[in-house]
Homo-oligomer: A and B are copies of this chain.
């Protein structure tokens, strides 16, 4: 009955691509079914054929964002460890290239919709928690290697992610004030402060 086996998923991926391009061009607030349809030279009928309603399409778009980030070309071929791995992850996230900037713009633009919708907010919270966990893993490795002081790795991971997210936001709003080299300089400066901090004696 189906044309070919697997065609359905392939077409869904085509739709996802169009969603992606619309998001990049007009942000989350400009994501409409008609915009996606014309972007891929089709009609809204096609969209509803693959996604029952807009919310499903939005949810799928967010999943796409995650996959897109995970599938991003790794900067360093041999997987580094500890602090170097942490740095590599953050370098992959920061808007150092136009493509990475586009990704982050889309991501930031999703926060409005996510904060207004409970389901989306839960999904986002889970995503950021997962990202923190990935960071924490490398923090712990770095601690074992003696590259980082033995603070609470959860707190360090949260702090690292805070720094990265905030830097992303500022870089998006002021690209000429935050060129790639400054972002990297700030990142390295931050990682250096992390490494040389005295244990929490005072307090």
A163 to B113 CA separation, bound complex (whole angstroms): 23
In the bound complex, do residue A165 and residue B170 qualify as a contact, i.e. CB atoms below 8 Å apart? yes
Which B residues are CB-close (under 8 A) to A202?
192
Q: Which residue of chain B has the shortest Cβ distance to A174 in the bound complex?
A: B125
Among residues 150 to 203 in chain A, which have CB atoms less than 8 Å away from a CB atom of chain B?
151, 155, 158-159, 161-170, 172-174, 177-178, 182, 185-186, 189-190, 192-194, 196-198, 200, 202
Q: Kindly state whether residue A109 has any CB partner on chain B within 8 Å.
A: yes
**Copy count, this protein chain:** 2
Please give me the residue from chain B that is nearest to A167 by CB atom.
Answer: B162
Give A111 to B172 CA distance when docked, in angstroms: 10
Beta-carbon contact of B29 and A174 below 8 Å? no
Which residue of chain B has the shortest Cβ distance to A121 in the bound complex?
B173
CA distance A190 to B166 in the complex (A): 14
Among residues 16 to 63 in chain A, which have CB atoms less than 8 Å away from a CB atom of chain B? 26-30
Number of interface residues of A (CB under 8 A): 52
> Is the Cβ of B186 less than 8 Å from the Cβ of A197?
no
Tell me whether A84 is interfacial, beta carbon within 8 Å: no
Among A112, A124, A168, A198, the most chain B Cβ lie within 10 Å of the Cβ of A112
On whether the beta carbons of A166 and B161 are closer than 8 Å, the reply is yes
Whether, in the assembled complex, A89 has its beta carbon less than 8 Å from a beta carbon of chain B, the answer is: no
User: Do A115 and B111 form a contact, CB below 8 Å, given A155-B185, A159-B186, A196-B197?
Assistant: no
The answer to whether B166 touches A167 (Cβ under 8 A) is yes
B111 touches A169 (CB 8 A): yes
Q: Is A91 an interface residue (CB 8 A)?
A: no
Please report the C-alpha to C-alpha distance between residue A98 and residue B195 in the assembled complex, in whole angstroms. Answer: 34
